[in-house]
Chains A and B, each alone.
Chain A
């Protein structure tokens, strides 16, 4: 089954304790990205990756890191989490960039990771 998986689905942690949220896709997609979803603000892109070893900042990258060592995996790293990073996080993948002047590529989203930082 074609899918994007994320782990863990739920995480409660404390300020400053490093954590990693994993994301994996089995569709051989080039493009992957991370979003956070907050009430009243919609989905905001954190980082994206066009291919292996190619990553770039989205709209809200502060406090996050990513890596793309393999095509299928795109982990999100919070080196020193703070309470304002409490949010619902989604990983997504698509054949190409989510949107460019040439049109859309359908994004497939993971089930989400609900993170609480105390």
Chain B
């Protein structure tokens, strides 16, 4: 069983649509990160959120950390083909470990 559950597993949308992907757990985390991984490349860090309820924006991407620090969401506005990739969440546990979710594969069609 994954400590971090990401949903949906796969998402295929048209350019210009909005979307939200989720990262959920029954555990409480001290912080959470989102990465994007493009085909043939390694993950690249997008954002780190550390405070319950925190919202961070990165251009068209909005990241939210749940009030209870058990979940997070990534919302993309007006998706573009360049947003295509695997989106991974990773959480810092109180046991000083970094655990990754399995990811959401996003495909944006032009």
The distance from the CB of B50 to the nearest CB of chain A, in whole angstroms, is 7
Count, chain A residues at interface, CB 8 A = 24
Query: In the complex the two chains form, is B40's CB within 8 Å of A41's CB?
Result: no
B72 nearest CB across to chain A (Å): 14
B22 within 8 A of A: no
- Residue A106 interfacial (CB < 8 Å): yes
Contact A42 B2 (CB under 8 A): yes
- Contacts A109-B42, A110-B42; A104 near B102 (Cβ below 8 A): no
Also in contact, A4 and B98, with CB within 8 A (given A42-B2, A43-B88, A104-B92): no
A84 contacts partner chain B, Cβ-Cβ < 8 Å: no
- A112→B41 contact, CB < 8 A: yes
Interface residues of A in 68-118 (CB under 8 A from B): 90, 92, 97-101, 103-104, 106-112
Size category of the B interface is 20 to 34
Expressed in whole angstroms, the Cα–Cα distance for A41 and B3 within the complex equals: 10
Determine if A29 is an interface residue (Cβ-Cβ < 8 Å).
Answer: no
Interface centre among B33, B48, B97, B98 (most CB of A within 10 A): B98
The closest CB in chain B to the CB of A35 belongs to: B100
A57 within 8 A of B: no
- CA gap between A79 and B94 in the complex, in Å: 34
Residue-wise, chain A 33-46 has the 8 Å CB interface mask toward B (1 for contact) of 00000011111110
Q: Which residues of B contact A109 (CB under 8 A)?
A: 41-44
Query: Are B40's CB and A90's CB within 8 A?
Result: no
Residue ID in chain A nearest B94 by CB atoms: A101
Chain A's closest residue to B89 (CB) is A42
Jot down 8 A-B pairs with beta carbons below 8 A, ordered by A: A42-B103, A43-B43, A92-B42, A98-B98, A99-B92, A104-B33, A108-B42, A112-B42
List the 6 closest pairs (A to B, CB-CB), nearest first. A109-B42, A42-B100, A99-B98, A43-B100, A99-B92, A42-B102
